[in-house]
Amino acid sequence: MYRPYTITVDFLSRKSIFQSANFAKFQQKIPYRGKTFRVDVEDMCGKISALLIRVSVGRWHWLWIPFGPIITGEPSYRSYMDFCRKIHVIARDEQAVFVRFEAGAQTYPSAVKNMRRIFSHTRTTTTRFTPDHTLVLDLSLNDEELLRHMKPKGRYNIKVAQKNGVLVKQYKTFKEIPEKDFEAWYEIMKETGKRDGFGAHEKAYYFNLLSTLGSTHESSIFIAYNANKEVLCGAIVTYHDQVGMYFYGASSYKHRALMAPYLVQWEAIKESRARDCAYYDFLGVSPPNSPKHHWAGVTDFKEKFGGDRVSYAPAFEIIHRPFLYKLLGIRSLLAKIKSLLRATR
C-alpha cells in the first residue's frame, strides 16, 4: 500500500541517515534531546534495528524512532516480540509517555502490523517529525538526462541564475565556512522560517549538524553569492548509504529574482552523484493534490527538478502512560490554538 510504483526497489533498500550512528551523536548534542538508544535483534532469517531518540517536553519525555525500524530480510515473529520487549524496557526505564514510530522505506507494512499486534495501547497519529512524502531523483542519469527530466521552468531558472553571475560554493566541513557567511546564512534561515511558516532552530543546532556529520564526510553546505559576494541562499545536504538528502534550505526574498536556489540545488545534485550517490532525496513535499498545504510553495520548487514521489506509512504511537499522554495532547492543542490566535492578530 505504501510502496511507490515509479521508484526502484533499490532506493527502498537504502538505510536512512536518521538511523545512523553519526545522527545519534548529533542528536546527543541537542539540549532537549541528548539521549539515544540502539536496539538490534537478529535471527537466521533477518534483522530488526532501530535508533531511539529521547525527546523532552518540559519534565516529560517521549521516544522517537525516525524512519525506522530498519528491517533486513524476514525476521521471525519471535524476533519482533523480542524487539518490542526491548523497546518497552527502555520506555519504562526512561519513564517515557509514549514511543513514536515513523516508518521509513525499509519499514515494511508487515513489520508495522506485527509491532501493533504485539503492543497494546497503540494509536495512529497524523503528525510526524519526518515527512510523510518526498521526491527522489535517480542519479544514474547524466547531466543532460537530468535536465531533460526537469520541468521547463526548472531548467530555465538554473540558466537565469548562471546568467546573473550567481556563484555557488560548497563547504565540506564547518571549519571551511567563513564565519560572516554562516552568520548571514543563519539570518536568511530565520527569515525563511518566518516566511514559510516553520521555526528555525538555534544557531548551535546547525553548527552541531555540520560539525558532527561533516567530520565523517556525511554533510556539506552549499552557499550562493552574488557578484558583490553577498550571501543569497544556502542548503545543507547529507550523504548516507548512497543517498544525497536536501536537509535544510534558506533563501533571501530580497534577491529572489536571481533564482539562486535553483543553481544551489543543481550543484548539490551533481555533488551527490560525484560522491557515488545513487539517489537525491528532497526529504519533504506536501501530500498529492494539496494546493493549500503549508508546504505547497516549497513543493512547487522541488517538483521543478523532476523525480519520483515516495510516500511513507502513517506514524503510530505506543502509549505507556495514558494519563500523561492525554495531558500532552491537551497541551499540544492549546499551543496550536495559541499559534492560530497569534496569526490572526
Q: For residues 338 and 336, which has the higher predicted lDDT (pLDDT)?
A: 336
Q: What is the pLDDT of residue 69?
A: 93
Same domain flag for 173 and 197: yes
Q: For residues 59 and 154, which has the higher predicted lDDT (pLDDT)?
A: 154
Residues in the chain: 345
Residue 48 maps to a domain: yes
Q: What is the pLDDT of residue 343?
A: 37
pTM of the full structure: 0.90
Same domain flag for 75 and 110: yes
- Mean per-residue pLDDT, 233-259: 96
- The C-alpha cell of 295 is what? 508546504
Share of the chain above pLDDT 70, in %: 91
Q: What angle do CA 86, 91, 96 make, to 5 degrees?
A: 170
318 within 8 A of 98, measured Cβ to Cβ: yes
Same domain flag for 49 and 116: yes
pLDDT of 109-123, one tens digit each?
788 888 988 987 788
Same domain flag for 48 and 115: yes
Q: How many domains does the chain have?
A: 2
Residue 46 maps to a domain: yes
Phi/psi at 216 (nearest 5 deg)? -120, 20
Same domain flag for 164 and 242: yes
Please list, in sequence order, all residues whose beta carbon lies within 8 angstroms of the beta carbon of residue 330, skipping any fewer than 6 positions away.
none
Q: For residues 197 and 186, which has the higher predicted lDDT (pLDDT)?
A: 186
- Mean per-residue pLDDT, 214-236: 97
Q: Is the pLDDT of residue 1 over 90?
A: no
Give strand ranges (E) for 226-304: 231-240, 243-251, 279-281
Please report which confidence band the pLDDT of residue 106 belongs to, taking 50, 70 and 90 as the band edges.
Answer: low
Residue 2 maps to a domain: no
Residue 165 maps to a domain: yes
Structural domain that includes position 28 = 9-130+313-343
For residue 30, the domain's CATH number is: 3.40.630.30
